[in-house]
A = this chain, B = another copy of it.
Amino acid sequence: MKVVVLRLGHRIFRDKRLTTHICLIARALGANSVVFTGEEDNSVIESVEDIVKRWGGPFEVKYEKNWRAFLKKNSDLELIHLTMYGLPYQDCISEIIKSKKDKLIIVGSEKVPSEVYHYAKYNLAVTNQPHSEAAALAIFLHELFEGKELDKKFNDSELKVIPNKCGKTIIKSK
C-alpha cells in the first residue's frame, strides 16, 4: 500500500516548521512521499532531503502549484482528508485498512477549500477538537499501519540511533 500525504496551503513564513514536521512525520511513520501546495518553498524541500540523505529513504518531497490538477491526476488513490469537522476516524479505519488501495491523505493549514471535502472519500477527525495537523497525521498513520510503521527500516542512511535507556547513541555508517 502506497501512501502519499498532500499538505495544502503552505505559507512560507508561518508554516515553514510545521510543514517540515509534517514531512518528517510522514517519512518516519511509513508514508512514501509528501506533496505540498500553497507557496513554493525550497527550504522545506532542502531540509527534508537533508534528513533523507542522512537518515535514509526512500522518501520524496515535492512542491505542486496546482492542487486541483494534482488531485485529478491522482484520482485512482483513496482520498482521505483529515479535519476536525469530520467523522471519527476510528469508525472507518478498519474499512480503510481492509481496502488495501493506495492512499492520498490530505492535511490542510489555516483554511481548507470546501471542494476538498467533496473530493474526499473520507473526511475524518482525530477528535473533533482543535489541535494540530501534525498530531492528526501521526495518529492516523499509526492506526493505518497498525503500529508496524514503528519498526520501519530505512535504506542508505549515514546515521542510525541505537536505542539507549539514558543518553544518546548514534552510529555513523558511511
Contact = CB atoms under 8 A, between A and B. Distances in A.
Contacts of A51: 130
A77 interface: no
Interface in A133-174: 134-139, 142, 147, 149-150, 152, 154, 160-170
B28 A131 contact: yes
Interface of A: 14, 17-18, 21-22, 24-25, 27-29, 51, 55, 84-88, 90, 114, 117-118, 120, 123, 125-132, 134-139, 142, 147, 149-150, 152, 154, 160-170
B130 A163 contact: no
Number of this chain's copies in the complex: 2
B139 A87 contact: no
A140 B166 CA distance: 18
Contact of A21 (B132, B164, B170): B132
- Main DSSP-derived SS at the A contact region: mixed
B87 A117 contact: no
Nearest to A17: B18
A31 to B, nearest CB: 11
Given A90-B150, A129-B154, 12 more contacts: A21-B134, A28-B130, A85-B167, A85-B169, A88-B163, A123-B165, A125-B161, A125-B163, A128-B162, A128-B163, A135-B137, A138-B138
